[in-house]
Amino acid sequence: MKNRIITIGLIMSIFLCFTMSSFAVADETKTITDEEGDVYDYVEYQEAIESGDYSNLKTYDNQPNIDIKKITYSKGDISKEVTVTLEVYGEIEDSGYGEDSMSGIDDLTNDGDFDFSAFLEAMISYQISIETSEQIYTITYINTACSLIRGDVYGESEEADYEKDGSTLTVTFDLDSAAETLETIIVTSSYMKFDWDALMSGEMEDTSGMELYMDMAPNVISVSINAPSKSKTEQSVSFSAELEDGTAPFEYEWDFDDGATSTEASPTHKYSVNGTYYPSVIVTDAEGNIGTGFITIEITKDNDDPTPPTTPVNNGLLVFIALIAIVIVVGVAVVIYVMRR
């Protein structure tokens, strides 16, 4: 009898171990799809970001090689190895700074000696930002050069293993830990071409002489904030986000620019110090698409005595706009980390 009990116990133990092992090797997979013909003109996109009005933002279908079709993330549960596959509607195009992309960026970062003559041809870049439960990884692909940066977007880059096959780019790398789980993934592609001689001679004073296009997945939701442009200290200010697209339900992340936040759809907030504030909201829909809205509010003292703003300008917004410009002008994908914030 005792031997039978021991035998049954061993069989059950083996069964439990096998079952647990089966669960352990389950893959973690996430796929994001993007519609065709939704490439944006960068200048128009930047103007929409600054104004918070996406209603007049047009899309273009003449850049299929940066028109994102699908991004897939896959990882074995007991493995550190991750495979990320990017697919576009056209073909993964090699054009731009080439094999020396990362060394050129290092020159720009370290001593400012950057060879911009490489941009005589069109610059095409593909950028993937991955946030896990423990780390942030940024992948950049420009003309056969594929790099990976862990953590700080200004950190050292390392070569990443990749395969390119027509419309598909597959990148493989190891996470810092096998226990990490995926939280967000954002893909941005960009195309830039401009008249180098006009730029160097000073004839080009703005972006009107440039061809600048970009695409992003997940898609951008059109978001505008409804709130008064002026109020007084200790008065309740009502906020709401007006959405023109996206799939319910929605998640909201409000930042009132004074240290306070909210996840309500239509929050109220009181400012205790007079000044100029730049509240913002990030909206995420059921399909993982995101959108951001900004607004400016002047807060004066309750005694109607306006005083100069004492709150510093929202550097987050300014850095966002400035750094996304670097993506287009320099092709540095590492700034996608800032976009995610």
* Spatial separation of the C-alpha atoms in residues 50 and 216, rounded to whole Å: 18
Task: State the pLDDT at residue 261.
Answer: 95
Fold topology of 223-310: Immunoglobulin-like (2.60.40)
Q: How confident is the model at residue 75 (pLDDT cuts 50, 70, 90)?
A: very high
What is the CA angle 249-184-135, rounded to 5? 145
Query: 173 CB contacts (<8 Å, ≥6 apart)?
Result: 81, 82, 137, 139, 148, 160, 161
Q: Tell me, rounded to whole angstroms, the distance of Cα 215 from its chain centroid.
A: 11
Query: What average pLDDT does this structure show over 177-197?
Result: 86
pLDDT band at 267 (very low <50, low <70, confident <90, very high): very high
Query: Given this model, what pLDDT does residue 57 score?
Result: 73
What beta strand segments (E) does 175-270 contain?
A: 182-194, 210-217, 223-226, 230-232, 236-238, 240-243, 251-255, 261-262, 268-270
Reply yes or no on whether the pLDDT at 260 is more than 60: yes
> Within 10 A of 17 (CB to CB), how many other CB atoms are there?
10
Q: Is the pLDDT of residue 298 over 90?
A: yes
CA torsion sign, 225 to 226 to 229 to 235? negative
What is d(CA 146, CA 280) in angstroms, rounded to the nearest whole number? 34
Nearest 5°: phi and psi at 181?
-120, 150
Q: What is the pLDDT of residue 310?
A: 45
Confidence class of residue 24 from pLDDT cuts 50, 70 and 90?
Answer: very low
pLDDT tens-digit profile of 107-150?
444 444 555 555 556 889 999 999 999 999 999 999 999 999 99
Would you state the pLDDT for residue 197? Answer: 66
- Per-residue pLDDT at 289: 80
Q: CA nearest 301: which of 232, 218, 251?
A: 232
Q: What is the DSSP string of 25-90?
A: TPEEEEEEE--TT-EEEHHHHHHHHHHT--TT--EESS-GGG-EEEEEEEEETT--EEEEEEEESS
CB atoms within 10 A of CB 21: 10
Q: Cα Rg for the chain, rounded, in angstroms?
A: 24
pLDDT in tens, 191-218: 988 766 666 666 666 666 678 899 988 8
State mean pLDDT over 154-167: 91
- Mean pLDDT, the chain, as a whole number? 76
- Residues of each domain in the chain carrying CATH 2.60.40.10: 223-310
What is the predicted pLDDT for the residue at 294?
Answer: 86
CA pseudo-torsion sign 272, 273, 278, 282:
negative
pLDDT at position 7 is 42
What are the tens digits of pLDDT across the range 300-332? 987 655 444 444 444 444 444 444 444 444 443
Least confident range from 111-115, 161-165, 267-271: namely 111-115
**Alpha carbon distance 295, 281 (integer Å):** 9
